[in-house]
Structure 1
Amino acid sequence: MEPRKHYTKEFKLDAISLVLDQGLTIAEAARSLEIRANMLGRWIRESQADTNGQAFRGNGKLTPEQEEIRRLKLENKQLKLERQILKEAAVFFAKETK
């Protein structure tokens, strides 16, 4: 069985452009790009239904809210690590001054 193909957002937008901007039919555009017509039709529907620029995020692509949460979690982890290092340094220097 052939592995599943993954298409970039740019490829999908270019394919949609062939139909919407250049006037090709879905079947013609799909044939020229060597993809299935029903897949191109789905991409067009998803693009038209998208109102906030989140179409074709792909697997692992995060919404802006999810990206902010991820960034804040990383920052929180870094700050906790820095705090722990400072605590250990304070204990070390307290022993040294005795």
Structure 2
Amino acid sequence: MKQYDKEFKLMIVDLLESGQSAKQVSEDYKLNANMIRRWLREQRSNKESFTGKGNPSLSDSEKELHVLRKELAEVKLERDILKKAVGIFSRND
């Protein structure tokens, strides 16, 4: 999937806001018309849009929470694997 930088997306949104149709812009730049309409909606609803690679910008506490949840999921998976291994080894004895 092709990634577009913030400046490019803002340029496309500016073209739409200047009166050009989504169809015309999509043909000129070989983009999907639905995608550029979504970019326009995102820009209108949130001036801090296009923070990078489709991910919203997170506060420090939100980033920490995300890291901790990921780590917890990994630890749970390791625990479950170890439980299964103990069960397998105890049956063979």
Q: Answer yes or no: same fold by TM over 0.5.
A: yes
Q: Distance in 2 between matches of 1:62 and 1:28?
A: 28
Aligned CA-pair RMSD: 2.4
Q: How many residues align?
A: 63
TM-score (norm 1): 0.55
For residue 9 of structure 1, report the CA deviation from its aligned partner.
Answer: 0.3
* Correspondence list, 1:21-36, <5 A: 21=18, 23-36=19-32
From 11, 14, 19, give the equivalent of 1:17. Answer: 14
Q: Structure with the greater relative contact order (CA < 8 A, sep ≥ 6): 1 or 2?
A: 2
What is the aligned-residue identity percentage? 31
Which of the two has higher C-alpha Rg? Answer: 1
From 45, 60, 72, give the equivalent of 1:66. Answer: 60
Q: Distance in 1 between matches of 2:15 and 2:49?
A: 17
TM-score (norm 2): 0.57
AA matched with 1:34: K
Residue of structure 2 in register with 1:41 after alignment = 37
For residue 59 of structure 1, report the CA deviation from its aligned partner.
Answer: 3.3
Runs of 5+ consecutive residues of structure 1 not aligned to the other structure: 71-98
For residue 60 of structure 1, report the CA deviation from its aligned partner.
Answer: 8.5
Runs of 5+ consecutive residues of structure 2 not aligned to the other structure: 65-93
